[in-house]
Every structure is written in structure tokens, then in C-alpha cells.
Structure 1
Amino acid sequence: MSTVFDCSDPQSRSAGIRTAVGAAKAGRLVVLPTDTVYGIGADAFDSEAVADLLAAKGRGRDMPVPVLVGSWHTVDGLVRSVSTAARDLVEAFWPGGLSLVVEQAPSLAWDLGDTDGTVMLRMPLHPVAIEVLREVGPMAVSSANVSGQPPATTVDEARDQLAEKVTVYLDGGPATLGEPSTIVDVTTPTPRILRVGAVSVESIAEVLDVDSASLTVNS
């Protein structure tokens, strides 16, 4: 049976984070608040838990799960090499609503789906999410909804869709931004915007010192 913890109450928040960390380390699924939308998460290095996450969403391996991290420094151990563009974007927008598609380090023992050697990384701007991530480590996290349905912006919306497939729900109130992250692919010499979301094209172009028209947008 799943449990919901109200993170606006200090005691409930502490108990909830402790329970969520334990659940994730034990291979179970948790729902946590982020700055963009609510996420359903699992230990990124637990392939069975990641498979359960995909199943809970009704999503295939052809749509691999992104990874959330609790610190800038975590990226260095997950990426083959961090380009100047990637570093500049991390420094400008993390923690926040920007996801980066990068070439993953070849030594990583995880299975996030059919990634073709890449991984999408983000550091969320939410204290509850950060606390969980720093205890668990990198987590495979996707929007907390059934595939094809609107992303959840409250814990109730997430629970309505995912119900008992999730062990722990952390209620951090309504998502601040309420829209998905912007996705930038930095695996090629010229970064490409794959989805426009919480961070604008103009803001990204300014950091990269390029004309916004040069960033291919497939929204």
C-alpha cells in the first residue's frame, strides 16, 4: 500500500524523505516533487526498478528514462566528456528547468531503455527532490503520469494516475513551473533544442552566444 507524506510539515517531510530514500534503495518506485512537474523515480542503477517505472507509465524502452542528479559534480562521473557548451548551460540553468542530452560514460552499469549511448540529465530546483537525490544518488525520473496523459503538477494528480504502483508519494505542493523542462542535445558540436519548455530559446542562445535561429527546435 502506498503512503503520502505532506512535506509542508517538518516531521512528515523528514519521515517522508527517509521512507522514500529507503524505498528507492530497495528497488521500489517513489513520486517526488520537482520544480517543473511531479516525477516518478527509481534508483538509476537498479534495472528492475527502472523496468517497473516504464511499466507503471505504460511506456516502452524506445522512450528511455531521464536521470535527475542532486549536484553539479555528479555529472562528471556520468558523462563521457563535458563539453564547454554543456558546462556553460549547467552553470547558467542548474538547478532548474533545463535537461541536457549527453553521451554517457561507457562504464556505467545501468539500463534506462534504448538510449543509444546517451542519457538525459537534469538537476531540479526543489529542496525535497535534492535531498532525496543526494541520499539515493542519480535517479531515473520521468513525469509522474501514465504515458499519453497530462503530466502531474500535484501529488493528487500523480496518485490518480499511478495509484498503488508507487510505494511513496512526497507531497511538495503544486509544481512551481508546471511545465516540462526544456531539452537541449549537446552530443553534437552545435547544440540542438529538442523541446521548448521551462527555459526559453532566447535564454539558451544568450548563454551559448549564438543566434536563437541557429538552434533547431523540434517542439
Structure 2
Amino acid sequence: MNLVDCKSALKTLESGLPIIFPTDTLPAIGCLPEFSNIIYEFKKRDKDKPLILMGSEHKQLIDYVNESAKKDYENIASKYWPGALTMVIPASERHTTIITSNDLTLGLRIPNSYMAQSLIRETGPLLTSSANLSGFKGSITVEGISQDFPSVKILGPIPWGKISGKASTIIFWKKSGDWRLIREGEVLVKELY
């Protein structure tokens, strides 16, 4: 098992390799945005499946949001973050190089996890996915994850705090004040009902 602290994790990420870390929902595998291909490679993930950009606070992600959606972004972020909610929103023109979707949108999330937030505060936003091999249910234990990804460094210390094991809710921004539910998860978004 390759356990690392935040300082070593930053060096690993800067070298272009991913890190596995806990979130409030499922363990995540993350990388610096310029190295997004590495997650697809390690997970054996289809390139048509976009990644999620995680931040440590919503102000860290606002520059990634298109001007047309900023008001709605701020409204939802202030109510549901940190937490198990992913917003899929039009990306800012300045950040199109990190987009992994085909429609110029970006999934954004702030996990309610002290370890995740501490790491991302140091590294800046990370492109992420759940820490499992594509098509397989992943483990939520460090031991299980290290078997699936023996060469990937894992953020310590362990044991990690509580992980729910349930995926985040995903909502998609259509236009001002108009959100669509993509995947129901832990969070029930009142604005949609």
C-alpha cells in the first residue's frame, strides 16, 4: 500500500500521476487538470465519460463557470456545498482546455471531507472520478482500493473518516433557473421538485 501525506501527494500530482483520496461519498482518484488522460488510463475508462472537477470551496471553482450560469452556480453552491452534489454547468471560455465532456460543460463538486478539502486546498482543483476500475463496483476501503490500483499512491493517514458509499447527486444546468436531475444520489435538490 502506497500511503502518502499531502506534501508527497502534491509532488506525485505535479509529476503527472494520480492520487486516491477519500471524499464524503466514494473514494476518488484525482489528477491535476492538465493530466486528465492518466485517470482514463488507470481506470480503463471510456473517453466519452467526463470527469468531475473538485475544489476545496466554491470560490475556488467559480472561474471555471461560464458567466451565463454564475448566478445559479452561486445559489446552489451556497445551499448544498460542501456535500454530495455535482453540478454540470457550462464551462468558462478560459478553461475549455480541461473539459473532458463533448458539450463544453464541466461537472463541479466540493466534497464534505476534511481530507479531500485539505488536499485540494494545497493542489488546486483536481479532475476526479470514483476510485474503481470502469465497469466494476469499487471498494470503499483502502485495502480494497490498493488491490485495484497497486501502483497509485493513496492519501493517508488511515483509517479514513466516514465514507457513505453512495454516489453524489448530479444536476445539469439548462438555462437560468432551470436545472435537470441526471442522477439521484444522497442529496435531494429542492429546486428541482
| TM-score when normalising by structure 2 | 0.90
- 1:194 counterpart (178, 182, 188): 182
Does the CA contact (< 8 Å) of 1:28 and 1:42 recur in 2?
yes
Q: Is the 8 A contact 2:171 2:181 kept in 1?
A: yes
Aligned pairs for 1:3-82 within 5 A: 3-5=2-4, 16-44=5-33, 46=34, 49-81=35-67, 82=69
Could you say which residue in structure 1 is the equivalent of 2:125?
A: 138
The Cα offsets for residues 173-215 of structure 1, whole Å up to 9 and x where unpaired, read as 2643221100011143420010001102xxx12xx2x6x2xxx
Structure 2 residue runs of 5 or longer lacking an equivalent are none
CA 1:174–1:150 in structure 2 vs 1: closer, same or farther (change >3 Å)?
Answer: farther
| SS of match in other structure, 2:145 | helix
The two structures, once aligned, show a CA RMSD in angstroms of 1.8
Secondary structure of the corresponding residue to residue 75 of structure 1: helix
Contact 1:154 1:174 in 2 (8 A): no
- Taking a change above 3 Å as real, the CA distance of residues 172 and 181 of structure 1, as seen in their structure-2 partners, is farther
Per-residue deviation, 1:83 = 4.2
SS at 1:21's partner residue? helix
Counterparts of 1:175 and 1:146, CA distance in 2: 22
CA distance in 1, matches of 2:106, 2:6: 26
Instruction: From the CA coordinates, give the structure whose radius of gyration is larger.
Output: 1
Consecutive unaligned residues in structure 1, runs of 5 or more: 6-15, 213-219
8 Å CA contact retained: 1:38, 1:175: no
Identity across the alignment (%): 24
Amino acid corresponding to residue 117 of structure 2 in structure 1: I
Write the mapping of 1:46-195 to structure 2, written as runs, cut at 5 A. 46=34, 49-81=35-67, 82-108=69-95, 110-164=97-151, 166-170=152-156, 171-173=158-160, 175-189=162-176, 190-195=178-183
The alignment's TM-score, normalised by the length of structure 1, stands at: 0.80
Q: Which deviates more from structure 2 when the two are superposed, residues 135-144 or residues 145-154?
A: 145-154
TM-superposed deviation, 1:154: 1.8
Any conservation in 2 of the 1:154–1:175 contact (CA below 8 Å)? no
1:112–1:140 Cα contact (<8 Å) kept: no
